[in-house]
Amino acid sequence: MTRLTETFEKTRREKRAALIGYITAGDPDLERSFEIIDAACDAGLDVLELGVPFSDPTADGPVIQRASSRAIKAGMTLEKGIEFVKRLRQKYELPIILFSYFNPIFAMGTERFVHAASIAGADGMLVVDLPSENANEIMRHVQKPNELHFIRLISPTTDLVRRNEILCQSDGFVYVVSRRGVTGGGSGNKIDWNALKQEVSEMRRETSVPLCIGFGISSPEDVRAAGSIADGVIIGSAFQRRVEENPDTAKQTIAEYVRQLRAR
């Protein structure tokens, strides 16, 4: 049984959604970033999405774009992100998903990436711009089933045929994109909670893999709404906004925010 499977079984027993936090590695600088991530894990994240910055983060809104830019300027790379995983694994057993784009992985070499991520203790990867159909570009190097999960995304524009194909191929969890547009709560694209609830209900009839909602989840109301219909709630820009606004006190601010989210 993998760490992801164990985590979702635990949260289901506790009758709550898993709290999944995206944090950009390297923002505002490498060491403070690690301290912030460490504090978030210690405060009660169920799953960590460790964001490896890329110069052209097409799926991300302005907040994470700026975080990625700061992290790149600070010297963050995919290799250093994997080193973060290794350091965190010495202390924590929570699942860690490497969140990035295909370009840094291709530049590193897909086989080398898989080997390094596995050795470091990563549980999976979410490659935003690598379609589900092309997952084998990376997964052919994975030695054992479920050694590394390839997290797939389903968006409001995914048609029913392709959605079924993605669900049949999925493991770990499925990232259900809540609305059109990029990450962050201020894009102007509102979440249609009734439509999203119906979509999640339909997908539950097609798969037993956990379904987790992300994109635009920031307010207490969003967290409660998503948590009432999904197996996990994914929050990203709300974390990075706090880092951006208070880099010197972000460690404490993020830890308190995680505790507040857990309480909700």
The residue annotated as part of the active site, out of 27, 46, 60, 171, is 60
Active site residue 192: no
From first CA to last CA, the distance across the chain in angstroms is: 28
- Which one of the listed residues 46, 49, 123, 171 is annotated catalytic? 49
Question: Catalytic site residue 49?
Answer: yes
What positions carry a catalytic annotation? 49, 60
